[in-house]
Amino acid sequence: MILQDKRGEEKMISIYWFIILLLVTTGIIVMVNLFYGSPYDVREIEANILAEDVANCISPAGNLSSEVYMNGVFREDFRDFFLEKCNLTFDSSNPFEDTQYYVEVNFYKSIVLKDPDFTISEGNPNWKPDCELNPKKHKNLVRCVEKQFYVNVKGDIYTVKILSMVGKTEQNVK
Amino acid sequence: MRSKRGQILVENLIFIILNLAFLAIMFLFVIKQGAGATILEQTYAKQISLIIDSAQPGAIIKINMADAKEVADEKGVPFVDVVSFNKNSVTVKLSKGGGYTYTFFNNVEVNSYVVEDVFYVITVDRKMKSGGATP
């Protein structure tokens, strides 16, 4: 009688063990597919590099470039040929697709960051309002990076604020 | 008594071996998934694109792509055709499909070649302006 019970118990344990193995297998397969199925999101790194490239272009060695500011005025031709001057291209691989980048550079003479003295912008500005939203909650929106630094222009301190944005949602978010 | 104890030991041993086999299969499954052509194509395309974005003209970058070569050889893709550049985009192709393309914003002339079987050397140069000589 005792032996029969024990055998029954062992069979029950093996069935339970089989179910546990099945559950573990399903869990691992689902988790692996979730992990490798979603693309790597590199947009924040890309936006950071873009902002740094723009900062290096505007102020190569910590001083404001003469291409940007000369004889007490900001140069309009730099604004007009900003992408060419900074060696940037915002062309998309798909000709029917909007550009996936946006850069805005604001120069402020005062410490209060209001009404910039000079502004440069290039790319797709339609996403700008999305930068206000929390990126952790809205993964399907663009990634924005803001950088700020100061430059000395013949005794005047200018605050330079760079906003860079990268779209490419389809390639970086599932 | 002895035979009974021996039986229990054999059963336990088989049980442990089966569990180990199961774990090994799962481990191999995870490794295989991570080294798939699609994943590697995406990883390398994005990695190369970010490297080019942060590179200055004149930079020479050497990338070890041994794992990509292994997959390309398996799928019958020549290693010299794995990485290709078109205007401002890089395509990494490890299978007979179209590969994975990612764009970069740095407006530079990019070229690549294979060295030591598994390394890709990427050269970044200033783009030649068409229709005029530089002073």
Mark whether B52 and B112 lie in a shared domain.
Answer: yes
B62 assigned to some structural domain: yes
B15 assigned to some structural domain: yes
Domain count, chain B: 2
- Is the interface score ipTM higher than 0.85? no
Helix segments in A38-148, DSSP class H: 43-58, 76-80, 82-85
Chain A contact for B106 (CB, 8 A cutoff) = yes
A chain contacts of residue B101, beta-carbon cutoff 8 Å: 93
A chain contacts of residue B41, beta-carbon cutoff 8 Å: none
B60 assigned to some structural domain: yes
The pLDDT, as a whole number, for residue B129 is: 63
Residue that wins the pLDDT comparison between B131 and B9: B9
Mark whether B99 and B62 lie in a shared domain.
Answer: yes
Mark whether A63 and A50 lie in a shared domain.
Answer: yes
Mark whether B2 and B60 lie in a shared domain.
Answer: no
- Token pair 């994975």: residue: B100
The domain of A45 spans 40-172
Mark whether A29 and A46 lie in a shared domain.
Answer: no
Helix segments in A38-166, DSSP class H: 43-58, 76-80, 82-85
- The alpha carbon of residue A36 is apart from the nearest alpha carbon of chain B, in Å, by 7
Mark whether B110 and B49 lie in a shared domain.
Answer: yes
Amino acid at A133: L
| Whole-number Å distance between alpha carbons of A87 and A66 | 16
Q: Report residue B61's pLDDT band, with 50, 70 and 90 as the boundaries.
A: very high
pLDDT of B3 above 60: no
E strands, chain A, are 69-70, 73-74, 101-108, 118-123, 143-153, 156-166
Mark whether B46 and B82 lie in a shared domain.
Answer: yes
Query: B30–A92: do the CB atoms touch at under 8 Å?
Result: no
Mean pLDDT rounded to a whole number for chain B: 84
Task: For chain A, list residues with pLDDT below 70.
Answer: 1-13
| Whole-number Å distance between alpha carbons of A167 and A44 | 10
Mark whether A69 and A109 lie in a shared domain.
Answer: yes
Query: B126–A87: do the CB atoms touch at under 8 Å?
Result: yes
Query: A45–B36: do the CB atoms touch at under 8 Å?
Result: no
In B45-64, the residues whose Cβ lies within 8 Å of chain A are 46, 49-50, 53-54, 57
Mark whether A119 and A150 lie in a shared domain.
Answer: yes
Mark whether B30 and B64 lie in a shared domain.
Answer: no
Do A108 and A161 touch, CB atoms closer than 8 A?
Answer: yes
Q: What is the pLDDT of residues B36-56, one digit of tens each?
A: 888 889 999 999 999 999 999
The domain of B23 spans 1-34
B chain contacts of residue A19, beta-carbon cutoff 8 Å: none
Query: B86–A93: do the CB atoms touch at under 8 Å?
Result: yes
B113 assigned to some structural domain: yes
**Percent above pLDDT 90 for chain B:** 45
Identify the residue among A42, A145, A164, A169 best suited for mutation to test binding to B, counting B beta carbons within 10 A and taking the highest: A42
Mark whether B103 and B84 lie in a shared domain.
Answer: yes
pTM: 0.79
Chain A contact for B22 (CB, 8 A cutoff) = yes
